[in-house]
Amino acid sequence: MNQTENKPKNYTGIVLTLTVLINGLIAVLFFMPKLDQFSHANIHILPMLNAIFNSFTFIFLLAALIMIKQKNIKAHKRFILAAFTTTLLFLICYVTYHSIAENTLYGGEGIMRPIYFFILITHICLSAIIVPLALFTLIRGFSMQVERHKKIARWTMPLWLYVSLTGVIVYLMISPYY
């Protein structure tokens, strides 16, 4: 048998391209003019949907973690795919909302203000990092590179859980100001 048949495909280029596109699109949203032709649309439900999608992502990730601890690989994979699905739905809603709506400013005062900004900043930074980590982890898992999958998943899972949970917290903290 040829050695190249056993060697897993290298998806690094695809993962890095997706990472740059996703993170780049999100960054551009905050500097580009808003799409006026949709300003009449009622989009104020989208931030709440984003929080719901983040909540489901968190729940699916916890379920995936429980399933893998119980050695139930089939259920683990299903929950991971569910988490990717809700994350994709989140991204679609997030991009839609921020391409139309003006940015909402946090109006909290006192100790809550630095707490909010700490959570927001760590959420944003780790969101950018989780994109390639989650993709590489998924690829390694589904291509049965078990040891490499475990090695990166030890970082991906807690960071992705943090990002999905803090997404909900950020929404709850800023929702009175929409």
pLDDT of residue 3: 47
- The pLDDT value given to residue 8: 66
5 in a structural domain: no
Q: Could you tell me if residue 162 is inside a domain?
A: yes
CATH of the domain at 139: 1.20.120.80
**Residue 136 covered by a domain:** yes
Distance CA 50, CA 83 (A): 13
CB–CB of 149/141 below 8 Å? Answer: yes
- Domain count of the chain? 1
For 65, the domain range is 43-177
The pLDDT of residue 2 is above 50:
no
Dump pLDDT digits (tens) for 112-139: 999 999 999 999 999 999 999 999 999 9
Of the ranges 15-24, 75-84, 96-105, which one carries the lowest mean pLDDT score?
96-105
Q: Is 30 exposed, middle or buried (0-12, 13-18, 19+ CB in 10 A)?
A: exposed
pTM: 0.88
Asked if the structure places residue 9 within a domain, the reply is no
Q: Is residue 6 part of a domain?
A: no
Is residue 114 included in any domain, yes or no?
yes
Residue 31: predicted pLDDT: 84
